[in-house]
Amino acid sequence: MASSSNYTKALTYENMNAKVRNVQYAVRGELAIKAEDLKAKLQQGDTSLAFKQIVNCNIGNPQQLQQKPITFFRQVLALIEYPDLLSEENLPLAQKLFPADVIQRAQDINQSLGGAVGAYSHSQGIRAIREHVAQFIAARDGYPSDPDSIYLTTGASGGVQQILQMLIANSQVGVMIPIPQYPLYTASLALYDGRPVPYYLDESNDWGMDTNELQQSLQKARDQGVDVRALVIINPGNPTGQCLTKENMMEVVEFCYQNQLMLLADEVYQTNTYFPQQLPFHSFKKILSSARPEVRDQVELVSFHSISKGVVGECGRRGGYFECVNLDPRVMEQVYKMASVALCPNVSGQILVDLMVKPPQEGDISYPLYQQEAQGIYESLKRRSQRLHEAFNSMENVSCNPAQGAMYLFPSVKLPTKAIIAAEAAGKKPDDFYCLRMLDATGVCVIPGSGFGQKDNTYHFRSTFLPPEQLFDDFIAKLQAFHSEFMDTYR
């Protein structure tokens, strides 16, 4: 019998699921936790710190850094969230406050929701919204899309995890992931006990992807007995920002066919491309659809999209979707079963997916404002990416590829030997040490390259370029001052 003196907790760090314990997620790791502590100190009026605010460049979270939400989206959401505004009695008031196309859209969505935004929806996601997603994909790619093959998800992350969980039947199953990678993949593989099979992106070639590297990595893993079943491609890349060419993508599709790999295409940054003439976004769905018939009709593809990025930036609302192509119909039944176990993706996120894939069109009352806001955010992201890229390259021992897409830069820093020794003495990895120093000196929180993977003896960090444009001069000046002081100290 337990008494309060000998009571031991049922769940302890030691006896808990070791797979959970093994998960690492640098985006919200040591640096981010320390940044939160410092933020709390600032809020309590601590004046001993070297800065007045924390700048969270550790995560692609645009609205945290003052990106204004798209007005049309919020207007529609407001009406749906407070349906009394659409009642017969209040409609005249709503008509004074909201443009007619906003009211119409809220009414349409309400109808597809059965008027109940607080109710569970269909487990696969609201049918009318999946139809809009399918129309969006078909218009984007020029190939048909089937609403029954689309699942609305709780952010792209929910979808990625759902598919990985299905793939990883046992601990011999491997999934090819890029290095550097977005840590959702290594974290989920650790959780489901799968084997990461890394392939390296080529920093000297704008973080390009080489199919020889894919082949070698696959061969090595298969020689070691790993049952490699899938290939993850992040395009545009995170943290590396590269955009793949059509030719390169077709090679990848062929590679998957030759090696019987399911292709998992993470395309959450599809509208964040900053050289659209030279490097436009192509979806893997489009490339696969244009492949030779045997390939087109066989290669299994799941592609992911999200409301978190692009110019939408509604990441806290947790909406996304995935589209499945060529999956075994009996596997599709299991996908549906697992979606049902989770009841349904969150409904506000689903509504935002609807708005993202079907925004105001030319001729609509809300179009000019929508267009102005969306274009404004896009242009500003592009300017900020270029400014930060130039700033990093102006720093001693730092070199940085441009962001062809996405929201991040991933500069390489040649750290002086003295800094590496000082890091060891402090029990830190050299890149952690550098980033912690940066946080202490500037309040800017970035993530060490080791959180994403990097070649041995190279050091990187990832920074978003999301700080507001009006603060950019100050942000860059602080980083430059910190870096030269750091180099002077450890030279």
Ligand X SMILES: Cc1ncc(COP(=O)(O)O)c(C=O)c1O
- Residue closer to ligand X (CB basis): 176 or 423: 176
Residue from the set 55, 156, 244, 265 that interacts with ligand X by CB under 6 A: 156
Q: Report if residue 248 touches ligand X, rule: CB under 6 A.
A: no
Q: How far is the CB of 205 from ligand X (least distance, A)?
A: 20
Phi-psi map region of 114: left, alpha, beta (phi>0 left; psi -120 to 50 alpha): left
Tell me how crowded residue 143 is: count the other CB atoms within 10 A of its CB: 15
Q: Which of 76, 288, 315, 353 binds ligand X (CB under 6 A)?
A: 315
| Amino acid symbol at 146 | D
Tell me how crowded residue 125 is: count the other CB atoms within 10 A of its CB: 26
Is the sign of the CA dihedral 243, 247, 253, 255 positive or negative? negative
Phi, psi of 200 (to 5 degrees): -95, 140
Which amino acid belongs to residue 101?
A: D
Which of 14-22, 154-162, 333-341, 463-471 is the region at the interface with ligand X (rule: CB under 6 A)?
A: 154-162
In the bound state with ligand X, the residue whose beta carbon lies nearer, of 185 and 490, is 185
Q: Could you give the CA distance from residue 382 to residue 313 in angstroms, rounded to a whole number? A: 15
Q: Minimal distance in Å, beta carbon 441 to ligand X?
A: 26
DSSP string, 300-349: -EEEEEESSSTTT--GGG--EEEEEES--HHHHHHHHHHHHHT----HHH
Stretch that binds ligand X, among 82-90, 149-157, 279-287, 378-386 (CB under 6 A): 149-157
Is residue 234 at the binding interface for ligand X, with CB under 6 A as the rule? yes
Q: Considering the complex, state which of residue 238 and residue 401 has its C-beta at the smaller distance from ligand X.
A: 238
**Which listed residue (125, 194, 310, 320) binds ligand X by CB under 6 A?**
320
Q: How many CB atoms lie within 10 A of CB 220?
A: 14
DSSP letter string over 351-399?
HHHHHHHS---TTSTTHHHHHHHHHHHHHHHHHHHHHHHHHHHTSTTEE
Choice between 184 and 230, CB closer to ligand X = 184
**Piece in contact with ligand X (CB under 6 A), picked from 2-10, 75-83, 152-160, 414-422:** 152-160
Amino acid letter, residue 130: R
Q: Is the CB of 60 or the CB of 443 nearer to ligand X?
A: 60
DSSP H or E stretch at residue 296: helix 293-296
Residue 465 interacting with ligand X (CB under 6 A): no
Nearer to ligand X, 155 or 430 (CB): 155
Does residue 155 bind ligand X (CB under 6 A)? yes
Asked whether position 238 contacts ligand X by CB under 6 A, the answer is yes
Q: Exposure pattern of 61-93 as b/e (b: 16+ CB <10 Å)?
A: bbeebebebbebbbbbbebbeebebbeeeeeee
Q: Is 323 in the site for ligand X (CB under 6 A)?
A: no
d(CA 357, CA 72): 13
User: Which is closer to ligand X, CB of 154 or CB of 366?
Assistant: 154
Cα-based angle 387, 271, 240 (whole degrees, multiple of 5):
55
Stretch that binds ligand X, among 122-130, 151-159, 397-405, 446-454 (CB under 6 A): 151-159
247/380 Cα distance (integer angstroms): 30
Q: Please answer whether residues 275 and 288 qualify as being in contact, where contact means their C-beta atoms are separated by less than 8 angstroms.
A: no
To ligand X, the closest distance from the beta carbon of 155 in angstroms equals 3
Q: Which stretch binds ligand X (CB under 6 A): 155-163, 190-198, 370-378, 395-403?
A: 155-163
- Indicate the SS3 state at residue 233: strand
Taking the complex as a whole, how short is the minimal distance between the CB of residue 483 and ligand X, in angstroms? 25
Tell me if 62 contacts ligand X by CB under 6 A.
no
Total residues binding ligand X (CB under 6 A)? 14
Given 161, 308, 412, 450, the residue binding ligand X (CB under 6 A): 308
Stretch binding ligand X (CB under 6 A), from 153-161, 242-250, 272-280, 426-434: 153-161
Q: In whole angstroms, how close is the CB of 30 to ligand X at the nearest point?
A: 19
Residues that bind ligand X (CB under 6 A): 60, 155-157, 182, 184, 234, 238, 266, 268, 306, 308, 315, 320
